[in-house]
Amino acid sequence: MADPVLKWAGGKRQLLDELKARFPTTDYTHFHEPFFGGGALFFDLEPEDGTINDTNPRLVNFYKQVRDNPTDLIELLDTEFRDPDADPNPDLEYHDTNHKGKAIDEFYYQARALFNKRPYGEDFDALREAALLLYLNRTCYNGLYRENNSGGFNVPIGSYTNPDWVQADRITTASRILEDTTIHNDDFEYILDAATAGDLVYFDPPYKPMSATAYFTDYSQDGFDQTDQQRLLDVASELDDRGVHVILSNSGVMYDLYDDAGFHVEVEGATRAINSDGTNRDEVDEIIATTIAPTDQRGPTQQGLTDYTN
């Protein structure tokens, strides 16, 4: 039951018990997570193999580095991302000025500019890119990944005292868990080639907004629109036809679509706030839809008592 390494918008840590209660009573073969993000369910399950996927190339590069180069990644984070002028006082707010009166946040904004300039051509430094992503993720406002229309990461600095962006233990653990996992950087439809009968797939797409003011599709410059939602339903139905177990979370407005398609759908009642731009908090009903009949589901376990820290 490991923790995610990155904080990610739409992270599913609060929904873990409800998701696991829908798992089949029979064993499944491989576990797949085609909309990975922070991968809260994957890390909690610690599956031995299977696949993960995300369309975000920076995120995918990050997990490949975590899997393949954990020691180098930790070392780089521990050495390079420290402002030599920073005040050693651990109580100093990260966004404050240090003992020399220098604004610490300059360092953050330089790192952010570097991250956005980083070329994807032959000069691409995969390890440094991964380190920058974790550094920014752990020090940015609310730990939210958001890109502007040109694909630039545009979240301002967060307000932290002595933030830990090295996350050495989590990287080491995640690396072990990812060891035999295949990591894709594709559209979610790759799953039609990857999953076979007896596997379990968890889909956690960007949610369809409940209201015009909800910005659930802001994970990257490519939104996830109604056509994508319909494609997802078609893919989930095809997997079901092939004997693959499917569990899916989505916003409450998708209830009828999945219900009409014959999925077992339940509203999770609990509301979840996503803060996309620092000012806008929206609450949403969530549904969990699954192809697994209620009589074949594991049901609630004592794992509901687990306390997750961040």
Ligand X SMILES: C[S@@+](CC[C@H](N)C(=O)[O-])C[C@H]1O[C@@H](n2cnc3c(N)ncnc32)[C@H](O)[C@@H]1O
Site residues for ligand X per CB under 6 A = 8, 10-12, 34-35, 37-40, 53-56, 187-188, 204-206, 219-220, 224, 228
User: In the complex, what is the shortest distance from the CB of residue 69 to ligand X, in angstroms, rounded to a whole number?
Assistant: 22
Cβ atoms of residues 263 and 245 within 8 Å: no
Q: Please, which residue, 25 or 271, has the CB nearer to ligand X?
A: 271
Q: Which residue has the tokens 């999770």?
A: 268
Contact 142, 275 (CB under 8 A): yes
- Measured CA to CA, the distance from residue 232 to residue 35 in angstroms comes to 11
Q: Residue 105 or 147: which CB sits closer to ligand X?
A: 147
Nearest approach in angstroms of CB 189 to ligand X is 8
Helix, strand counts (H, E) of the chain = 10, 9
Residue 107 or 219 having the CB closest to ligand X: 219
Smallest gap, in angstroms, from Cβ of residue 92 to ligand X? 30
Residue 165 or residue 207: which is nearer to ligand X going by CB?
207
206, 160 Cβ separation under 8 angstroms:
no
CB 158 to ligand X: min, Å: 18
**In 127-199, where do the E strands start and end?**
181-184
| Cα–Cα nearest to 140, from 165, 121, 171, 116 | 165
Least separation, in Å, of the C-beta of 143 and ligand X? 11
Given the complex with ligand X, which of 109 and 308 has the nearer CB atom? 308
